[in-house]
Amino acid sequence: MSVSIEKTQQQILKHHGGNGSQARQAISNSYDRRHDDDFWQFWEATVAANHQTGDGIVDMGAGIGQFVRDCALRYPDSAVIGLEAAPYMLEHTVELPNNARIVQDDLNLPQADIAPGSVSMVMANMVVHELTQPIKMFKAAYDWLKPGGRLCVVDVVRQPLKDYLEHRYTETQVWGDDTVVADLEDAFEHFQEHNRYHPDDIVYMLELGGFKLADRLSYRNDRFVRLVVEK
């Protein structure tokens, strides 16, 4: 276990507004919407393109384990491992099939016991922007993946301040007298957190480590990107 995991836990909790229970509920409630039939069609056609029976699957930032559970059910002959740092997620995990498990790990410096070259698919969903640096996570994924294995990255990406504030303040004027300092400070802090990288920055880091870009999609007014890269 990484000695820095307590620091990462504090960082994630702050990112989640200091309310782990609320963050857990919001992420759990939106899971089905984010993993609809279109998502699974994309996953099967693109991320699972080189998956073979028995290949491992890893979910980095597994939350309460909904994606781990679904992958374990879809691929019953594969070992599915979820990695999660936040205690408020780990304490409320869903019931998992026998071929799945969730372990505590620090994605700023992953230490999970996963054999090199044993994995065909890795998911990193809304994780990159939460890390102090994503390089060690990307490197771990590369080491775990077999040749031809694929990593899927889904995350928020850089946007103009105008777009962010207009999305945040749908009913309140930013310059209005009723907009309090604490809320503005929170808004600008979250803008910085959610605005760390342009999609090209993430592609650059991945290609620098040896990955090849297989698929790229920007969506929701270019506020999100979905990348698939291959080892």
User: Using one digit for the tens of pLDDT, what is the confidence trace for 103-135?
Assistant: 999 999 999 999 999 999 999 999 999 898 999
How far apart CA 141 and CA 157 sit, in angstroms, is: 21
pLDDT in tens, 142-178: 999 999 999 999 999 999 999 888 888 877 788 888 8
DSSP states along 106-169: -TTS------TT-EEEEEEES-GGGSS-SHHHHHHHHHHEEEEEEEEEEEE----HHHHHHHH-
Give the per-residue pLDDT at 27.
Answer: 79
How far apart CA 184 and CA 122 sit, in angstroms, is: 36
pLDDT above 50: residue 179 = yes
Q: What is the value of pTM for the model shown?
A: 0.87
Give the per-residue pLDDT at 2.
Answer: 47
pLDDT in tens, 83-105: 998 888 898 899 999 999 999 99
Element (H, E) at 73: helix 66-74
* Cβ–Cβ < 8 Å for 81, 68: yes
Give the per-residue pLDDT at 163.
Answer: 87
End-to-end, the C-alpha distance of the chain in Å comes to: 26
pLDDT in tens, 196-231: 899 999 999 999 999 999 999 999 989 999 999 999
